[in-house]
Structure 1
């Protein structure tokens, strides 16, 4: 299922980049990935899926069942699935923010995270283009957080987990798409991160560490957006005047 969703969701972005569709919405319009770059990226990601992520997926089921994962009927209600998935998004975003920020510390960046920043203008397929160690570290947020929830509450159904994985993959791929649309989700949910948030991280190599939401970057002053930079300049000017 993981391969089908990952490459299936990446496929529209490949067509969009290849045929020059929606050029006016491309965030870094002068950096369009070539087919060769996308093919090389796909091969690397596929290798990572089978050597790193597949063992994690195999281990998930027995571990989750040990913690109380349900695989039987009745299925959970829509409300139950919705609030649990919302909690998973918050948990994963928190884990991702602090882990990702740690990976930007000099030695860890050079040893682990530098691979992911090979593409300063991200594209959909590059969402999981990373070193095996990084895949395991950040992947814990997606796989481990639901297990922690299940261990604490004893309430998690396999159907909820499948839907969560699909939505998380969609979020990661779309955040790396490199396109900002008038209908992008953050225009309706201002705290949602989106492609414009993460694209700046790849372009500038700093700030915007969170995956799904903007609040950690805002609260901890790692928000790297034009608005945030303007706010910092104004605050600095205010402090200078006060002195």
Structure 2
């Protein structure tokens, strides 16, 4: 750990924290807790592995819980995109079991290897933490890069052979719900999820400037985005009403309902540029664009013959 006084054989976590705080007054409370955790564990791979896995589970199921509650409250049915399709407790439990199996068999080994991989490529795990502005900039870049990865890989997943053998599992629920964000085959979890990890790793290789705390904040926000886009609810305060290029539940729910189009994860621009938007409004806009293009072509031809 950088900038932290080495400690003699630690006994308790809080004992380490008290001792470390005496000699590292330049660190804030969170930074002292972070440094104390690594000093207490005496094994950086184990410390990062436990912290990463617990963080992932708490964020995933913690963010899914409000949607489970909302599904049981009739008041919110007015905001349900596919109002007649409310997931049953049995469906949510079935989904949870597959998600947990995937977390422990597919994601846990990857999480355990994350620390040595991150250190190999130069990711910082020490203290002090980077400025908030720098972390925010990195996270914004990761959102853009991951969205590009997700669009093209997800679109490839809808190629018939891959859809039948890999992606079809994720489309079991035509009306998605929060817990179903990571309801997918192990192959899909690895390939589509790789964008969340590979983009920051690529950034680290190119710039040599990334802290693992930025990675944690990025993964937390990415999980929030994935779960919310599968929630099945469209509110007047949904983010895309304020950021028109944001995708959200309204964008992704149509994908699950119609099984095609709207392939991007966070933003709408790839679907717009590649003409893969789905839904009645997108179809209407597409027809209008084609009609306008045909009209301009006709006018151009008329001018040539005049």
CA distance in 2 between counterparts of 1:149 and 1:208 reads: 27
Residue matched to 2:148:
94
8 A contact 1:127–1:173 mirrored in 2: yes
Task: Give the counterpart of 1:6 among 56, 60, 65.
Answer: 60
Alpha-carbon deviation of 1:143? 1.1
Using the size of structure 1 for normalisation, the TM-score is 0.97
Residue matched to 2:100:
46
CA distance in 1 between counterparts of 2:274 and 2:180 reads: 27
Residue matched to 2:180:
126
1:79 aligns with 2:133: yes
Residue matched to 1:207:
261
**Which SS does the other structure have where 1:47 is aligned?**
helix
Deviation per residue, 1:20-79 (Å, 9 max, x gap): 341110000011100000010001100000000111111221111111111111211011
Residue matched to 2:84:
30
Alpha-carbon deviation of 1:223? 1.1
Task: Give the counterpart of 1:219 among 251, 261, 273.
Answer: 273
1:189 aligns with 2:240: no
Count of residues in correspondence between the two structures: 243
Task: Give the counterpart of 2:205 among 151, 158, 161.
Answer: 151
CA distance in 1 between counterparts of 2:216 and 2:143 reads: 14
Residue matched to 1:230:
284
CA distance in 1 between counterparts of 2:207 and 2:286 reads: 42
**Greater radius of gyration (CA):** 2
1:140 aligns with 2:194: yes
Alpha-carbon deviation of 1:240? 6.2
Unaligned runs of 5+ in 2: 1-54, 302-306
Alpha-carbon deviation of 1:91? 0.7
Greater RCO structure (CA 8 Å; 6+ sep): 1
Task: Give the counterpart of 1:19 among 67, 73, 76.
Answer: 73
CA distance in 2 between counterparts of 1:187 and 1:79 reads: 25
**Inter-CA distance 10–21: structure 2 relative to 1 (3 Å threshold):** farther
CA distance in 1 between counterparts of 2:279 and 2:241 reads: 15
CA distance in 1 between counterparts of 2:289 and 2:117 reads: 49
Aligned CA-pair RMSD = 1.3
**Which SS does the other structure have where 2:113 is aligned?**
helix
Alpha-carbon deviation of 1:237? 3.9
Residue matched to 2:220:
166
Deviation per residue, 1:150-201 (Å, 9 max, x gap): 1111111011011111100000000000000000011111110000000000
